[in-house]
């Protein structure tokens, strides 16, 4: 038997090639029934041995095609989703509970820990996805953890009644992540991990969540380092006063959806929401009663309670945990989010919707003309504002405090990525970092494997020590040096620095020319 003992009870895992895997460990009580739309609650202790040999269900979600939710529920998903997975290379043998030999983690190993938070626009994904399983991290001496958390309506429904009940609203998915990281800090020694050497990281929405945790005083001391791949909560769609993360917009949209479900923003209405089908709530989040698709995002909300607007838009003058930081972006982050058939009128309308009063200057700087299609311009703006500029305040703040800060620019364009037509797109780096399914991004050749070996080794080095390796220049606010990662990694100045700093001003809600 493979087993480990947590604060809540003993869990049964399985032995893999070079590590022990414990899957589907509950880090909170199931958020169902009366616990729906409430902060996560500490798991109840159990007697006996809990079978953790298979993944817990990912958060309830709709089946998605090309990032667009469909009307059907993903069958493997569930409202009962607050589980995490641990893979540890630190283990030995002991006398079995039922005779024979058991495999158990070496609780004295104190290996570095990596907690990965998956992306998916807060609407899709889960820790059971093959890409996120992290086998190579475990095989290379890292205790690897990934987590599920509530998403879309069940994670980010924003009613004032929830605020009266729980002193926050619209951020249950963020509270889940905080709860999971706290569970790791309190229990990871049981799996051979070092609670004083935890790195929390994520990609896209996972990076947004990581950046929020960096700014929560309630997360102080839970982790030592952070990795931001492709963005922070400063992404413009999440915090601009015209964006979906704004409390007025989120509360108004949530009230409208509740009304369509026959519920009000009141104790009675919330009771009704907790009694109805979770699947119906998820569908209503994305589809109007007439069946048309609702343009509704699932983003954390600046509620002024869990975290404040002032805290997130400018961490240089507000609270930010002292951590080492590895951050970076891909060259063509915005391409998969823009419509290739977008007209100039569509482009102008979308920029105006997102940027409001700032749109005129942005459209002047990035005109759709003979040299640049509306698709190219929209892709560029999305990439610069949503996935690149928002990480700079975190890097500047922490480097200014003397923390280890390193940045990267991923620019390895394989033949397959070229044929896709989206360039070195969003998410493309993940297969190389995790050394998983390289063929999916065209990296399953000698050159691609070399890039993957370098990236994975760099991530492991950073998780262990806070330094990814000698090839990496330290990032400093005044110097702004990154590592450009392609076939021949080399140091470079922050690309398109002036444009990124311009979007940073917008994200920080500062006045100035766009």
62 bridge partner residues: 73
The SS3 assignment for 142 reads coil
> Rg of the chain over CA atoms, in angstroms?
22
DSSP state of 53: B
Tokens for 95? 């006398």
Give the whole-angstrom CA distance, residue 129 versus residue 124.
11
**Are 347 and 361 within 8 A, CB to CB?**
no
Distance (Å) of CA 419 to CA 2, 207, 437, 445, 506: 45, 28, 18, 16, 34
Neighbours of 348 (CB within 10 A): 17
- 204 is an active site residue: yes
Give the whole-angstrom CA distance, residue 226 versus residue 110.
19
Choosing from 77, 78, 204, 379, which is the catalytic residue? 204
Which long-range contacts (C-beta less than 8 Å, at least 24 apart) are formed by 338-346? Answer: 338/375, 338/378, 338/379, 338/382, 339/375, 339/378, 340/375, 341/375, 342/374, 342/375, 342/378, 343/374, 344/368, 344/374, 346/374
**Distance, CA of 41 to chain centre:** 21
Closest CA to 61 of 288, 290, 285: 285
**Are 114 and 137 within 8 A, CB to CB?**
yes
Closest CA to 235 of 245, 223, 226, 225: 245
Closest CA to 227 of 253, 206, 197: 206
Residues marked as catalytic? 204
């Amino acid at each position: 038997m493979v087993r480990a003992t947590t604060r809540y009870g003993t869990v049964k895992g399985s032995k893999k090639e070079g590590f022990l895997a414990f899957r589907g460990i509950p880090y909170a009580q199931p958020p169902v029934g009366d616990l729906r739309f409430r902060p996560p609650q500490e798991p109840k202790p159990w007697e006996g041995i809990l079978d953790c040999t298979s993944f817990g269900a990912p958060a309830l979600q709709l089946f998605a095609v090309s990032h667009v939710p469909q009307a059907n529920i993903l069958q493997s998903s569930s409202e009962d989703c607050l589980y995490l997975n641990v893979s540890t290379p630190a283990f030995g043998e002991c006398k079995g509970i039922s005779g024979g030999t058991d495999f158990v983690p070496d609780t004295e190993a104190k290996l570095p820990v990596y907690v990965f938070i998956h992306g998916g626009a807060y609407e899709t994904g889960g820790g059971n996805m093959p890409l996120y399983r992290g086998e190579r991290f475990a095989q290379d001496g890292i205790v690897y953890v990934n987590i599920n958390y509530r998403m879309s309506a069940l994670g980010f429904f924003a009613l004032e009644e929830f605020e009266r009940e729980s002193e926050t609203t619209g951020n249950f998915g963020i509270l889940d992540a905080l709860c999971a990281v706290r569970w790791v800090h309190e229990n990871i020694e049981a799996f051979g991990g070092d609670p004083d050497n935890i790195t929390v990281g994520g990609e896209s929405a996972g990076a947004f969540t990581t950046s929020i945790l960096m700014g929560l005083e309630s997360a102080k001391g839970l982790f030592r380092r952070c990795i931001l791949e492709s963005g922070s909560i400063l992404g413009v769609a999440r915090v601009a006063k015209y964006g979906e993360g704004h409390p007025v917009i989120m509360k108004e949209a949530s009230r409208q959806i509740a009304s369509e479900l026959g519920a009000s923003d009141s104790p009675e209405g919330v009771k009704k929401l907790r009694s109805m089908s979770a699947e119906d709530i998820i569908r209503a989040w994305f589809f109007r009663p007439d069946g048309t698709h609702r343009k509704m995002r699932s983003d954390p909300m600046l509620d002024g309670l869990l975290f404040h607007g002032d805290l997130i838009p400018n961490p240089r003058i507000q609270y930010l945990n002292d951590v080492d930081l590895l951050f970076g972006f891909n060259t063509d982050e915005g391409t998969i989010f823009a419509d290739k058939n977008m007209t100039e009128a569509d482009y102008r309308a979308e920029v105006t919707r997102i940027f409001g009063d700032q749109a005129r200057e942005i459209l002047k700087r990035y005109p759709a003309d003979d040299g640049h299609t509306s698709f190219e311009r929209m892709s560029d703006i999305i990439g610069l504002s949503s996935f690149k500029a928002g990480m700079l305040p975190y890097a500047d703040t922490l480097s200014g405090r003397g923390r280890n800060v390193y940045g990267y620019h991923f620019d390895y364009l394989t033949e397959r990525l070229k044929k896709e037509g989206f360039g070195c797109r969003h998410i493309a780096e993940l297969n190389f970092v995790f050394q998983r399914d390289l063929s999916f991004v065209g990296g399953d050749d000698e050159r691609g494997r070399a890039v993957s070996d370098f990236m994975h080794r760099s991530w492991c080095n950073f998780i262990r020590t806070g330094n990814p390796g000698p090839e990496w220049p330290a990032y400093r606010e005044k110097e702004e040096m990154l590592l450009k990662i392609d076939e021949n990694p080399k140091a470079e100045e922050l690309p398109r620095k002036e444009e990124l700093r311009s979007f940073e001003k917008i994200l920080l809600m500062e006045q100035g020319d766009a």
